[in-house]
Amino acid sequence: MKTKTYKIYRGRLIQEPGGVLFIGDDSRKIFFEGVRVHVGKFFIPRETAFQISGHIFISRHWLKRGFSLETFAHEYGHYLQQRRLGFFPYLFRVAIPSVWSILRNPVAHVTKRYERHATLIGKRYAHLS
């Protein structure tokens, strides 16, 4: 598999065979096992990213304008949620309500229980405070 590197805020994401490696500008390394990253390959609204079945999609626009390790860790949190819940429960309890809430009220979106939970477990995985 060919290696791809994406520059993000204060570091870069590197697609490796078993997951995505983050290398910070301060040279710290965090490996996000089991996921693949895709940038702007499909229709993705400007400031969005989402996770489905281990695939993390990021809009090209956002990637170039401040997409951070914290945000990647949040999306990874959704991957961990899906692994715990299984595909259909994740789809109906998290993925679909999440898309719906972004469209209806982007400000309230981040306060949703499943969003705060994704942030929490993603940070815990990456050892972010």
Give 39's strand partners: 58
Task: Determine the Cα–Cα distance for residues 20 and 102; give it in Å rounded to an integer.
Answer: 26
11 or 122: whose CB is closer to Zn ion?
122
Give the shortest CB-121-to-Zn ion separation in angstroms: 11
| Cα 79 to Cα 35, 72, 96, distances in angstroms | 8, 11, 14
**Residue type for 59, please?**
S
2 or 46: whose CB is closer to Zn ion?
46
118 or 121: whose CB is closer to Zn ion?
118
Q: Please report the sign of the dihedral spanned by the C-alpha atoms of residue 40, residue 63, residue 115, residue 56.
A: positive
Q: Which residue's Cβ has the minimum distance to Zn ion?
A: 115
- By CB under 5 A, the residues from 98 to 117 that bind Zn ion are 115
- x/- mask, Zn ion, residues 59-98, rule CB under 5 A, reads ----------------------------------------
Give the shortest CB-49-to-Zn ion separation in angstroms: 8
Q: Please report the sign of the dihedral spanned by the C-alpha atoms of residue 25, residue 6, residue 65, residue 124.
A: negative
